[in-house]
Structure formats: structure tokens, C-alpha cells
Chain A
Amino acid sequence: MITERAKASLDRLLVSSLKSGMPIAGASVDVTPFESVALIGEKKIVVLTVSSYLFRVMAILYFKPDAATRSYFNRGAAHGAPALGDDEFHDRVAECGNVCCGALNRELGAHFPHVGMSTPNIIDKDCMKYIDLLGCGLVRHYRVVLAGELTMYASLCVASDGLLDFHVDPTGDATVDSGELELF
């Protein structure tokens, strides 16, 4: 069972991680709830998992391998740089998912000491048909508009093996500053 305040906290953390991890080269990002996975036309997804002994959180990014999406993930490249090939494009989308889920993992790690994160996996969106088999107690979908023109989608799916209850202060800052070198 996942308590209402835990659901709200997970929702808040995912939105925050999308806002911090999705912008490339200073692009704007707007994240809003989206009603149904059935309305998402993208054919590919990046799946990452944060797991503990108590729960499994899946963060899913849906994407199209079209020119607009390739162009977004090539933002910041030198003028006249060639378009991204398939391998390079998939790696960039996967790394973007990795950075988003990494932020989620760090924030969850502040509440649950034994969490571990997967590496990104790119699979067909058709696999989402089977998400119900995992018995998720929380499934939410989001529309993500990048740079005011590219729309992608994301999902948050959480399966719990027991009572999952925690609270994230909606006014609090992220617990970690990214990019800074911590010297030992």
C-alpha cells in the first residue's frame, strides 16, 4: 500500500527530476499531468528503475526517433554539425533518462538508505501493455514540453511490497548540487 502523501511525494520528485534532467542547452521544460498511456503515440521508451527492499519505482520516457526529437537532443552542437545517427541518438535519450532517474534516486536515497538504480533500457512502447502485471499501486503519466515545441511523455509506476509512507517537503530544495566536485 502506498499512502496518499507518499504518492504526492513520488509525483513531486518525478516532476522535479524531469525539470532538472530534461532541458538540454538551457531549453525550457513544462511538465503537466497526462491522462492515459493509450493516447501516447510514441513507439519507443527508456525505462529506468529505482529499487529497495520495500518498493520498485519505474521512470519511463517515451520518445519518437523523428527529426524534431533528434534535433532537440543535438541542441548545443556546433552549427552545421551532422544529424544524430541512431546509436548516438539512443545513447543521448538514454543518458537523459539516466540523469532524470539519478535525481529521483538521490532524493529517494535521502528517505530510504538502501536504494539502487538500474542502467537505462530502451524497449518498445508496446511493453507498457504488461505494466499491470507488476501490481503497481501508483501509475501516473506526464506530458513534457521541451523548448516550447517538442512534446515527449513520461510515466511513473511504483510497486510496493509493504506500506510505503514518506513525505517530501514541497517547498524544499534538491538535496544535492549537481556538477560540483566534492573533494575527499
Chain B
Amino acid sequence: MAQILVVDDSSTVRDEVAGFLKRHGLDVATAVDGKDGLARLRMDPKVRLVVSDVNMPNMDGLTMAEKIRGELGNKSVNIVMLTTENSPIMKERGKAAGIKGWIVKPFKGDAVLATFRKLVEA
């Protein structure tokens, strides 16, 4: 089963997002920052969608997205940022890294569930 990787340094957000997606029948893993997310992606080829915060310690979400495309050479995984940020400069950087979308926190699961299903099955 294709998997969603939720990357956030806040356990509150990880629990909220992963819990919601699991309750709706999706397979979900979590990581605590970009570095951890990258390590999990290296190990697990099942991940088809990454939902990531931007501002995190050790490695931020946009750097992780760039490394997913660059270092890992992974062009197939879909990446969506979930963040309090809404800066056009950050969004442009994300687009250049090939991210699929942007959500401004707080997370509202019902608003994104159908699209997440499509992205994880794509």
C-alpha cells in the first residue's frame, strides 16, 4: 500500500495529521524534521506523498524537497507543504523544487483528504 510521510517537528501536528489520515484508511509514517524525512524516504520506497512543515530544526522542509529531487533523484513522490508560512518567495522556491501544493496551517483534514488520496495513488 502506498504510504504518506508526515514531516513536522511538532508532535501535536504529527499526531493530528497522521491520526486523521490513518482514521481514513491511509498508511502513514512520520518524521521529526527534514533530515529524518530524507532518511525515511531513502529506506522506504512505499512513500508516494510527503506532507511537510517548512520551518524545522536540522533541515527545513524546502531543503528536504530539494534534496528529494536532487540527492535522491526521486521525481515521483508528491510533496505538499503544511506550514504557517505563506511567503511568495518560499512558494517559488518550493515550485522550483517540484512541490505539488501548499497548505497554510491549521490543518483541516476534510478540506484536503480527497486530493491527498489522488496524490498518494498517482
Which of A97-105, A148-156, A157-165 lies at the interface with chain B?
A: A97-105
Known: A91-B10, A106-B84, A109-B87. Is A99-B111 also a contact (CB below 8 A)? no
Specify the chain B residue showing the minimal Cβ separation from A103.
B84
Q: Chain A contact residues (Cβ within 8 angstroms of B): what range?
A: 20 to 34
The answer to whether the Cβ of A39 comes within 8 Å of any Cβ in the partner chain is no
* CB-defined contacts of B108 to chain A, threshold 8 Å: 178-180
The CA of A101 and the CA of B91, in the complex, are separated in Å by 19
Return chain B residues, CB-CB under 8 Å to A103: 84
Residue-wise interface mask of A (78-106) relative to B, using a CB-CB cutoff of 8 A (1 in contact, 0 not): 00000000011001101100110111011
Give Cα distance in the complex from A91 to B83, angstroms.
Answer: 16
Residues of A within 8 A of B (CB): 21, 87-88, 91-92, 94-95, 98-99, 101-103, 105-106, 109, 113, 115, 117, 119, 176-184
Given contacts A91-B11, A95-B13, A99-B106, contact A179 B84 (CB under 8 A): no
Interface residues of B (CB under 8 A from A): 9-13, 55-57, 80, 83-87, 89, 91, 94-95, 99-108, 111-112, 115
CA of A127 to CA of B110, assembled, Å: 41
**Smallest CB-CB separation from B10: which chain A residue?**
A95
Q: How far is the CA of A21 from the CA of B84 in the complex (A)?
A: 11
Q: In the complex, given contacts A101-B84, A178-B105, what are 13 additional A-B residue pairs having Cβ atoms less than 8 angstroms apart?
A: A94-B10, A99-B106, A105-B85, A106-B85, A119-B56, A178-B108, A179-B105, A181-B103, A181-B111, A181-B112, A181-B115, A183-B115, A184-B102
Q: List 23 A-B contacts (CB under 8 A).
A: A87-B11, A91-B11, A91-B12, A102-B83, A102-B104, A105-B84, A106-B84, A106-B104, A115-B87, A117-B85, A178-B104, A178-B106, A179-B103, A179-B111, A180-B112, A181-B101, A181-B112, A182-B101, A183-B101, A184-B91, A184-B94, A184-B101, A184-B102
- CA separation between A178 and B10, bound complex, in Å? 18
From B89, B95, B106, name the one whose CB has the most chain A CB atoms within 10 angstroms: B106
The answer to whether B111 and A180 have CB atoms under 8 Å apart is yes
Smallest CB–CB gap between A63 and chain B, Å?
A: 14
Question: Contact at B105–A99, with CB atoms within 8 Å?
Answer: yes
Contact between chains at B100 and A183 (CB < 8 Å): yes
